[in-house]
RNA sequence: CGGGGUAUAGCGCAGUCUGGUAGCGCACUCGCUUUGGGAGCGAGUGGUCGUAAGUUCGAAUCUUACUACCCCGACCA
């Protein structure tokens, strides 16, 4: 009735395809299933987490004053020719043709589309600055997809593009996004580091990456022992030098020594300058009637990658330990003898409704299964709070509360409601 | 693309060396008994052994080609 089997299609053993912990746990917890290399279906449980991350990102972006748009995934060759990226991008750009043999690509990023929109829409400095964003599926035909949704070919990304009249305006937008990204990662509850980075193929001047710290991270970063400064080691290494040799050396910013850590890049912010606006003729008129190319910035967050990175940073031998803000459910009600005992069934159903009404995201595990399987699954999937109704409830009305981090307490149903009421 | 590996039921595996027509655990279905840490008993369902060709009386097993997937490198949110 309340419980759909598709919510918990858990696996006792991880499929052979998975190597790292987050990938294994996402498969075991029934969050994702592979369709092709680097291409995944999100199951209900995984999608709930993905949507929670997405909502936090959206809400912080909106607070920053950015405007949400939705651009197409399929993009015509013509605009990519204008920036010469149709040539430059290589095989990572998945090219397709329509029935008229016109060339298109699946969007790996959207600088061309957004710049096209802005040049046709914004004509005066008075309408600037502006920051636009979207949360949308990207496709990059990665040389080697791996680690499940950590490095997939199709993935969900929030990409934002700012436009302003001068460098000062760009700086402001950049700082605004930098602060917004901090808020997003803090709200989600991840340990992260802002890292000086190479701006790569997208081009432009300055750029910084946001790394979630985790042992299995693909990037290696050098952190100053005595300051907030961090830099991607790919910028530090000279030819033939290995990463280990950096450890303990003087930090690049002069504050203490270098500590080496592994990180997962979940965000990247760039000052693009006028590269795209010059190529595509995105100009506005200034106060004194001069025509100038727009100063652009672009800011990306890997929404689906954050889900994997969160698991990579927060897990134990039992399974996933979600930060509360993005857990698929807040509470799991575990009845023992649900289908056999009317008293348990009624109490569970009632509690489920009431918590739902109070605004909690609640699951009722009404499967015909023993306590062992239910609690194991709950721990695997990482639901922060479990409410157990069993023999003790029948005896004297007591209910057990058990958190994912192992704290147990006993209560009765009225006190429990008061407690939950208090927290909401 | 270079190097390494895997492919047998939904998942994990054995069987391959030494050819004889496919098996185990979990899951699933039915029945009864169970229900506070992945329940027990009984009865079942499910596989053209990745694909194609070859060798052979006979191929999961030997040969060749191909494909998919995974891992290590360059790319990236």
Q: DSSP string covering A174-237, please?
A: HHHHHHHHHHHHHHHT--EEEEE---GGG--S-EEEEEEE-TT-SEEEEEETTSS-EEEGGGTP
From A267, A286, A316, give the residue that closes a domain.
Answer: A316
Q: Are A74 and A188 in the same domain?
A: yes
Task: Calculate the angstrom distance between C1' of B35 and CA of A402.
Answer: 19
CA separation, residue A232 to residues A127, A150, A247, A395 (Å): 37, 19, 13, 60
Same domain, A171 and A308: yes
d(CA A424, CA A412): 19
Pair A254, A393 in one domain: no
Question: In the beta sheet, which residues pair with residue A156?
Answer: A137
Q: CA-CA distance, A152 to A32, in Å (whole number)?
A: 12
Same domain, A188 and A273: yes
Residue-level pLDDT at A216: 87
Whole-angstrom Cα distance, residue A309 to residue A212?
7
Tell me the nt nearest to A374, Cα to C1'. Answer: B38
Q: Predicted confidence band at A248 (pLDDT cuts at 50, 70, 90)?
A: confident
As a rounded value in angstroms, the CA-to-C1' distance for A355 and B4 is 53
Q: For residues A59 and A157, state if they share a domain.
A: yes
- The DSSP element (H or E) to which A113 belongs, if any, is helix A111-121
Residue A321 lies in a domain: no
Q: Are residues A292 and A333 in the same domain?
A: no
Residues 14-53, chain A, CB closer than 7 Å to nucleic strand B? 14-17, 19-20, 23, 34, 36-38
CA distance to A41, A67, A133, A332, per residue, from A155 (Å): 11, 21, 16, 29
Predicted confidence (pLDDT) per residue in A145-201, tens digit: 999 999 999 999 999 999 999 999 999 999 999 999 999 999 999 999 999 987 655
Please count the CA atoms within 13 angstroms of the CA of A332 that sit on its side-chain side: 29
Question: What is the total residue count of chain A?
Answer: 424
CB proximity A316–strand B (7 Å threshold): no
For residues A33 and A158, membership in a common domain is answered with: yes
Strand B bases with any atom < 7 A from protein Cβ: 1, 6, 11-13, 25-26, 34-39, 68-77
Spanning CA of A35 to C1' of B69, the rounded length in angstroms is 11
Total domains, chain A: 2
CATH of the domain at A378: 3.40.50.800
For chain A residues 191-220, those near strand B by a CB cutoff of 7 A are 198, 200-202, 209-210, 218-219
User: What nucleotide is nearest A20 when CA is compared to C1'?
Assistant: B71
Query: What gap in Å lies between CA A330 and CA A404, rounded to an integer?
Result: 11
The answer to whether residues A293 and A386 belong to one domain is no
Q: What is the pLDDT of residue A3?
A: 60
A112 shares a domain with A11: yes
- Residue A115 in any domain: the answer is yes
Distance CA A85, CA A79 (A): 9
In-domain check, residue A292: yes
Dist. CA A265–CA A286, nearest whole Å: 38
Q: Tell me the nt nearest to A386, Cα to C1'.
A: B36
Location of structure tokens 């967050």: A301
The domain of A283 spans 3-316
Same domain, A261 and A119: yes
Which of A 135-174 have CB under 7 A of nucleic chain B? 140, 142-147, 149-153, 155, 157
Cβ contact A12 with chain B strand, < 7 A: yes
A155 and A53 part of one domain? yes
A292 or A203: which leads in pLDDT:
A292
Q: How far apart are CA A375 and CA A365, in angstroms?
A: 10
Over residues A283-289, the mean pLDDT reads: 94
Interface pTM, i.e. ipTM: 0.94
Tokens of A238: 């000279």
The nucleotide minimizing the C1' distance to residue A336's CA is B35
Banded pLDDT at A205 (limits 50, 70, 90): low
Last residue of a domain, one of A265, A281, A316: A316
The pLDDT score that the predictor gives to residue A394 is: 92
* pLDDT, position A202: 53
Give pLDDT tens digits for A79-130.
999 999 999 888 899 999 999 999 999 999 999 999 999 999 999 999 999 9
- In chain A, what percentage of residues exceed pLDDT 90? 81
Token duo for residue A160: 């934002």
Nucleotide nearest to A393 in CA–C1' terms: B36
| Closest residue by C-alpha to C1' distance, nucleotide B37 | A372
Q: Is the CB of A265 under 7 A from strand B?
A: yes
Last residue of a domain, one of A292, A316, A340: A316
* Tokens 């022992």 sit on residue: A225
A362 CA, B43 C1': Å apart: 38
pLDDT digits (tens, 9 = 90+) for A328-339: 999 999 999 998
pLDDT (tens digit per residue) in A298-343: 999 999 999 999 999 999 999 999 999 999 999 999 999 998 899 9
Contact between the CB of A371 and strand B at under 7 Å: yes
Q: How far is CA A174 from CA A135, A159, A178, A199, A269, in A?
A: 19, 13, 6, 14, 7
Q: Are residues A154 and A29 in the same domain?
A: yes
Answer whether any strand B atom is within 7 A of the Cβ of A424.
no
SS3 of chain A: helix, strand, coil, percent, to 5: 35, 30, 35
Report the nucleotide nearest the CA of residue A371, measured to C1'. B36
The reply to whether omega before A129 is within 30° of 0 (cis) is: yes
């Amino acid at each position: 009735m309340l419980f759909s089997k598709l919510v918990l299609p858990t696996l006792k053993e991880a499929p052979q395809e998975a190597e790292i912990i987050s990938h294994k746990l996402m498969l075991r917890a029934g969050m994702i299933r592979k369709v092709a290399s680097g291409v995944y279906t999100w199951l209900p449980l995984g999608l709930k987490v993905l949507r929670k991350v997405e909502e936090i990102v959206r809400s912080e972006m909106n607070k920053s004053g950015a405007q949400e748009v939705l651009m197409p995934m399929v993009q015509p060759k013509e605009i990519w020719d204008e920036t010469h990226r149709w040539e430059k991008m290589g095989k990572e750009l998945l090219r397709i043709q329509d029935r008229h043999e016109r060339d298109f690509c699946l969007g790996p990023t959207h600088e061309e589309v957004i710049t096209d929109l802005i040049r046709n829409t914004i004509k005066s400095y008075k309408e600037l600055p502006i920051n636009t964003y979207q949360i949308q599926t990207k496709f990059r035909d990665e040389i080697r997809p791996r680690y499940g949704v950590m490095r997939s070919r199709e993935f969900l990304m929030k990409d934002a593009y700012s436009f302003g009249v001068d460098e000062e305006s760009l700086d402001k937008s950049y700082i605004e996004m930098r602060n917004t990204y901090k808020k997003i990662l803090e709200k989600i509850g991840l340990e992260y580091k802002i890292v000086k980075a190479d701006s790569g193929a997208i081009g432009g001047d300055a750029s910084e990456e946001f790394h979630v710290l985790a042992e299995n991270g693909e990037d290696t970063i050098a952190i100053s022992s005595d300051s907030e400064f961090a830099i991607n080691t790919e910028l530090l290494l000279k030819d033939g030098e290995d990463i280990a040799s950096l450890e303990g050396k003087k930090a690049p910013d002069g504050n203490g020594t270098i500590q080496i850590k592994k990180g997962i890049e979940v965000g990247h912010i760039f000052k693009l300058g006028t590269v795209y606006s010059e190529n595509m003729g995105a100009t506005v008129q200034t106060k004194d009637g001069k025509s100038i190319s727009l100063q652009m910035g672009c800011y990306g967050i890997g929404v689906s990658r954050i889900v994997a990175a969160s698991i990579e940073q927060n897990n134990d031998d039992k399974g996933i330990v979600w930060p509360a803000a993005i857990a698929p459910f807040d509470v799991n009600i575990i009845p023992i003898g649900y289908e056999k005992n009317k008293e348990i069934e009624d109490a569970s159903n009632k509690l489920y409704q009431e918590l739902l009404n109070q605004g909690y995201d609640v699951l009722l595990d009404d499967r015909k299964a023993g306590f062992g399987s239910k609690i194991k699954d709950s721990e695997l999937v990482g639901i922060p709070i479990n409410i157990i109704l069993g023999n003790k409830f029948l005896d004297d009305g007591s209910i057990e509360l058990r958190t994912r981090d192992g704290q147990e307490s006993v209560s009765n149903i009225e006190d429990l409601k008061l407690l939950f009421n208090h927290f909401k």
